[in-house]
Amino acid sequence: MTEKLCDQRGKIYDLADKRDPCTIIATFEVKKGNLRSMRTLSQDQRKVFAEQGYVVIPQVAPRNLIENAREEIKRLVTQNPPPSGHKGFHFYFLNDLPKPLLDLLTESPAMGVAESLVAPNKLGMPEQVQVSLIIPPWPHKPGGPHIDGLTPPEKDGRPGTFSMLAGIFLTDQSSEDMGNLYVWPRSHRSCAEYFREHGPDALGMSAPYPPVLLGTPRQVLGQTGDLVLAHYMLGHNMGGNKSEVTREVVYFRLRRENHREHWRRFVQDELYELALI
């Protein structure tokens, strides 16, 4: 039997359309002429994030923002290309936040959707943007997950924790082995349990990932313009690309206001920052 999901209006969607099983069919609440007016996630949808550690929200970034972002990436690649003949991952970490890339977050509903996970609190603006390319052919399968921000830590020695990872797909990843992000569902909950037992400062000694039991990894499926939101402690890694197209994703690492002040409590309680009620 084909797995199905239901949106908050009761419409049934067949997952045979190659959507990720954690895809959220969310209702737009868009004021006329204002694409940035956000759609919010319902309590049930926020619970999917809390339980699984991630969600995929379809068609958040419109075509014009996608095109502008891809042009910016072409410029980056032209100015600073990967080594000749390189296959596999190639990243650009940018602290100056080029407008065509930042617009994916701020000129679409993406920031509002992400912020609805922590409402009524707010998310700060990202301090960096990552352009993540997976150049084919690269028949890679990750050996395990990692947590971001541990090597190196921040300048004051604090682990580089954040609230959630937000990724916007600039290319199609509706089938496996297209450079998909791998995730280990529910692993964020195992992490929090580990840090409750061993203390939050154990995070800094846990690279690449705490020694917890892990379930079966899953390749995140999505289409151009989709948004993936993943909990900071969700185990993840990059996957191989057997397609003919370079996979392009733009990632933002988002922190709830005052996150750095309460990061120890956050890593011991995976629900601490989430608005579940």
Give the C-alpha separation, 117 to 40, whole Å. 8
In a domain, 7, yes or no: no
In a domain, 275, yes or no: no
Give the C-alpha separation, 14 to 273, whole Å. 32
In a domain, 2, yes or no: no
In a domain, 4, yes or no: no
In a domain, 163, yes or no: yes
In a domain, 3, yes or no: no
Predicted TM-score (pTM) of the model is 0.89
In a domain, 276, yes or no: no
In a domain, 274, yes or no: no
**231-255, pLDDT tens digit by residue?**
999 999 999 999 999 999 999 999 9
pLDDT over threshold 60, residue 25: no
**45-71, pLDDT tens digit by residue?**
888 999 999 999 999 999 999 999 999
Average pLDDT rounded to a whole number, residues 116-124:
95
Number of domains in the chain: 1
Q: What is the pLDDT of residue 18?
A: 59
Q: What is the pLDDT of residue 7?
A: 36
Domain range enclosing 66: 14-268
- What are the strands of the beta sheet with 88-94, ordered from one edge? 54-57, 227-231, 164-169, 247-254, 129-135, 88-94
Give the C-alpha separation, 132 to 222, whole Å. 15
CATH number, domain of 37, equals: 2.60.120.620
